[in-house]
Amino acid sequence: MLAKLIVYCAYYLKSADWYRHSKVFFYDLLENSHSRKKKYFDATMIGLLILSVIFLIYDIEHNDSKMGGYFELAILMIFVAEYFIRGWIHSDAYKVIIEEHEKALYLNLNLNLSSVFKKIAARDLEYIWSPFAIIDILAILPSYRPLDILRIFIIFRLFKLFRYSDSAKLFADALASKRYELSTLLIFTCFLVFIAGVSIYMFEYQAAGSNINNLFDAFYWTIVTLATVGYGDITPQTTGGRWVAIFLILASLGVLSFFTSILIAAFSEKMLSVRESRTYAQLDRYNSFIIICGFGRVGQEIARHLHNERQKFVVIDRTPHKIALAKQRGYLAIENDASNNEVLINAGICRAASAILCITGDDVINVYITLTSRHLNKNLRIISRANRHDNVNKLYQAGADNVIRPFEIAGLLAAEFVGQPVAFEAISGILHNQTEIVMESVLVSEKSPLDNQQIGQLDLAQRKLTLLGVISDNPIHLKHKNKYQVKELHFYFNPETKFILRHGDMLVLLGRKYGIDHFRDQVEQRRLFSRTRA
């Protein structure tokens, strides 16, 4: 009966919207590192922690201040609530119950409640013994008045900062990565302290003028000397004791320099990933950006254009000096291998990346990055560079949307230039926006005044615009001549004056930039005007 009730409750929780919503809400607030809520929450908690420590210091001089007491209580409540909610998010008890219930159902057995509770308890214990949970408890316990001796541990609350701040985490990570070296050093130091401590004790104990009266004094002196602090309150008086001091000082120089070098190495190794994670964090804030893989000449050229247009992008390259160059120019850059899934995922290929450019000088790498990106994101626009003609099809097979061949384009341009230099200069100027005259498209949207209008009526010559053609996928136009198929679309070159535009068509116009913009604005205004009248 009890088992049935528990299972029923578990199913109810599973299906209940409020339960799920509240869990998601608290998950976003406490654990989800991508959510904005967590950032605000973390900042608030850091503020509270610092305040509570300030109150502790204030309390030392002003016993039993009333305000401090209330504040302390409020903070305590928040900490306790946070502790339990984290436990709740971690545990997912109802899932365990449902799982066990379904297993029992399948095997035709009765649900064994004790084993279910054991499993739930194991999950809870796992939470309780996790390092962060222990720090949380340490922050809560000292507030319990009967354990007044623990009040000093309130200072441990500051450890909670590790939870809320990435840089503190980083510090701990850097130390943790050198665990082996540090533990070796620790063992050696312990030996040293022990040997030196015991020897000085042997030599100096009860010697004339000596301050070493017990073993604790001996160890105290050893550590003060080892740390090169040397207060001078205890000094060796006997010749033997002085020899110990000489030996200890020499050895401690080694220990300290070893310790410093470990720390420096740990941080400089970590710095690289710190910079990288800063880049990732910045990318996280963008809603749309382009990934450029390969920062050779081609990549630099594209980056320059994108930078001028204030488009967001990130450069990924393996070569340190190229990344240094990219950073020097103020671009976001990641020094890593772009064919690595993790790098692309961290860069946000599945999130906000709108396009990826695989433009390294090596076709093998380009194919590999193309394949990886297509595998990770089906809808991404992928533009790849083929340095050899025979690799074009491989890149398309790998999933590229466009393949570009630098040498072929350059060859084509050289040939065009020899054949007809004037026409070539004219069109390349227009295509690359080097002249005041540009080529742009204007979309015929639904309910636009252009919809169902004949081209002859548009009065384009008056507007000083040339119509090169119309791009459309509308089958209604297929009867017209001069059509050129481009992928799924048709390009109708030089359409007749009686060509009727339909919505979805695109006019390709040649003219001055502001002429085309003005035309587009007018069309849009008239569309909005006609809608408001309707």
Q: Closer CB to another protein, residue 47 or residue 411?
A: 411
Q: What is the distance in angstroms between the CA of the first residue and the CA of the last residue of the chain?
A: 67
CB of 521 to another protein, least distance (A): 18
Provide CB contacts within 8 A for 356, sequence distance 6+: 290, 291, 292, 293, 344, 349, 369, 373, 380, 381, 382, 383
CB of 297 to another protein, least distance (A): 3
CB of 424 to another protein, least distance (A): 7
Determine if 345 is a binding residue for another protein (CB under 8 A): no
Nearest to 468 by CA among 441, 429, 445, 447: 441
Report the alpha-carbon distance of residue 25 to residue 301 in Å, rounded: 45
CA 436 to chain centre: 41
Nearest to 161 by CA among 49, 51, 35, 85: 49
Q: Which of residues 421-440 bind another protein (CB under 8 A)?
A: 421-427, 429-432, 435, 437, 439-440
Determine which residue in the list 415, 476, 478, 528 makes contact with another protein, applying CB under 8 A.
415
**Interacting span for another protein (CB under 8 A) from 318-326, 335-343, 404-412, 523-531:** 404-412
Q: Is 462 exposed, middle or buried (0-12, 13-18, 19+ CB in 10 A)?
A: exposed
CB of 291 to another protein, least distance (A): 12
Q: Closer CB to another protein, residue 324 or residue 426?
A: 426
Q: Closer CB to another protein, residue 14 or residue 297?
A: 297
Q: Are strands 506-512 and 437-443 parallel, antiparallel or unpaired?
A: antiparallel
**Interacting span for another protein (CB under 8 A) from 127-135, 167-175, 368-376, 401-409:** 401-409
Phi, psi dihedrals of residue 295, rounded to the nearest 5°? -115, 55
Residue 462 vs residues 39, 183, 520: alpha-carbon distances, Å: 57, 83, 15
CB 332 within 8 A of CB 283: yes
Query: How many CA atoms lie less than 13 Å away from 148 in the CB half-sphere?
Result: 3
Determine if 464 is a binding residue for another protein (CB under 8 A): yes
For residue 331, is it left (φ>0), alpha (ψ between -120 and 50) or beta?
Answer: beta
Tokens of 487: 């992928």
CB 28 within 8 A of CB 35: yes
Determine if 456 is a binding residue for another protein (CB under 8 A): no
Determine which residue in the list 78, 83, 417, 453 makes contact with another protein, applying CB under 8 A.
417
Q: Pattern of binders to another protein over 207-246, x per CB under 8 A?
A: ----------------------------------------
- Ranges of beta strands (E only) in 327-407 are 332-335, 353-358, 381-385, 402-404
Determine if 418 is a binding residue for another protein (CB under 8 A): yes
Q: Closer CB to another protein, residue 452 or residue 494?
A: 494
**Interacting span for another protein (CB under 8 A) from 139-147, 200-208, 364-372, 461-469:** 461-469
CB of 413 to another protein, least distance (A): 6
Determine if 420 is a binding residue for another protein (CB under 8 A): yes
Q: Which of residues 479-518 bind another protein (CB under 8 A)?
A: 482, 484, 486-487, 489, 491, 493-494, 506, 508, 510-512
CB 439 within 8 A of CB 481: no
Determine which residue in the list 471, 501, 516, 523 makes contact with another protein, applying CB under 8 A.
471
Is 220 in a helix, a strand, or coil?
helix
**Interacting span for another protein (CB under 8 A) from 87-95, 341-349, 369-377, 407-415:** 407-415
CB of 488 to another protein, least distance (A): 11
CB of 153 to another protein, least distance (A): 58
Provide CB contacts within 8 A for 185, sequence distance 6+: 255, 258, 259, 262
Q: Closer CB to another protein, residue 270 or residue 385?
A: 385
CB 488 within 8 A of CB 439: no
CA 367 to chain centre: 26
CB of 341 to another protein, least distance (A): 24
Tokens of 128: 């309780």
Q: Closer CB to another protein, residue 381 or residue 518?
A: 381
Determine which residue in the list 1, 208, 461, 534 makes contact with another protein, applying CB under 8 A.
461
Q: Which of residues 104-123 bind another protein (CB under 8 A)?
A: none
Q: Residue 436 carries which DSSP code?
A: S
CB of 520 to another protein, least distance (A): 14
Number of residues that bind another protein (CB under 8 A): 74
Q: Closer CB to another protein, residue 158 or residue 443?
A: 443
Determine if 442 is a binding residue for another protein (CB under 8 A): no
CB 471 within 8 A of CB 508: yes
Q: Which of residues 37-66 bind another protein (CB under 8 A)?
A: none
Is 290 in a helix, a strand, or coil?
strand
Question: Cα torsion for 4, 9, 14, 17, to the nearest 10°?
Answer: 150
Q: Which of residues 356-395 bind another protein (CB under 8 A)?
A: 357, 359, 381, 383, 385, 387-389
Q: Which of residues 290-329 bind another protein (CB under 8 A)?
A: 290, 296-302, 304-306, 309
Determine if 413 is a binding residue for another protein (CB under 8 A): yes
Determine if 286 is a binding residue for another protein (CB under 8 A): no
Tokens of 504: 């979805």
